Amino acid sequence: MTRTDYPAGMDSVQPLTAQEFEQFRQLAHQTFGLDLKPGKEELVTARLRKLVRRGGFHRFQDYYRSVLQDRTGEGLRALIDALATNHTSFLREPDHFQFLRDRIIPDMGARETIEVWSAACSTGEEVWTLAMTLNEAAPGRRIRIAASDISGKALRWAQGGVYSPERCRSMPPAWLSRYFVAEGRPPLSYGVVPQLRAQVAFRRINLLESYSWEQSFPVIFCRNVMIYFDNATQQRVVDGLTHCLEPGGYLFVGHAESLTRITHSLEFVRPAVYRKAGRGRRWIR
């Protein structure tokens, strides 16, 4: 019997030990800021067991060691994909998109290009909601959306732009017919139209590592990711996001998130919406 050949129903992977959990906890925190608090042992076991089996290992310790020794980085990226939470939906926290449409877009004046960064885009529902909102609110304007995430798996899904009917239920029917193409009868899935695809550029970014853009952004969405970070990590992430905002630009975070426990220079606008001091030449009023 080889190390990967086990009778059906027999689990070859030994239970996760407290020491192994602590090793994965520290690795996740150091590499992408995830704060795995005590009590998350079952979550780590469930999400990593498949990778342990795939590598032919009997123990989580052996898999952990293989990740550290993998100079290609593929092992670490697979671990990140497994541990990252990618829960999202179309029009999630809809008041954010209404505020963007009703308050921010009119305040931008006649700038030719509207640029937005979705800094933790997950599987893409936020990105395409932003694209639809901007096209509705600013018809005829050039729309450019930068979309990034640490998970390569989530980015591939987002870039594919194909979603099941169940995932599209929260979308207004007019948007679904205007911005998506149904595949199958009855529809088995919906694909984003080429017009929207052309407005989005995807890029893998770890918000804890060094990154840069050719331009600053008037609007950045970074929602429902900092709830997984401790205060020190939140500080690093917000500092980086603030640097990428143009003067007068807006940062959106999730409604379950707050910046009250960290030091920052942003002005509170309304719950989960902050603004950078100053006003660039492309803002009116």
Choice among 77, 81, 92, 149 that is catalytic: 149
Residue whose entry in the numeric block shows the structure tokens 């990711």: 225
Q: Counting Cβ atoms within 10 Å, is residue 284 exposed (0-12), middle (13-18) or buried (19+)?
A: exposed
Residues 6+ apart with CB under 8 A from 233: 29, 33, 35, 208, 226
What is the Cα–Cα distance from 27 to 274, expressed in whole angstroms?
Answer: 31
5 is catalytic: no
Residue whose entry in the numeric block shows the structure tokens 């911005």: 179
- Angle 99-145-77 (CA atoms, 0-180°, nearest 5)? 115
User: Is there a contact between 86 and 122 (Cβ–Cβ < 8 Å)?
Assistant: yes
149 is catalytic: yes
Lookup: tokens for 131: 């694209």
Choice among 47, 49, 141, 144 that is catalytic: 47
Instruction: Give the residue from 80, 213, 192, 62 showing the smallest Cα distance to 131.
Output: 192
Active site residues: 47, 149
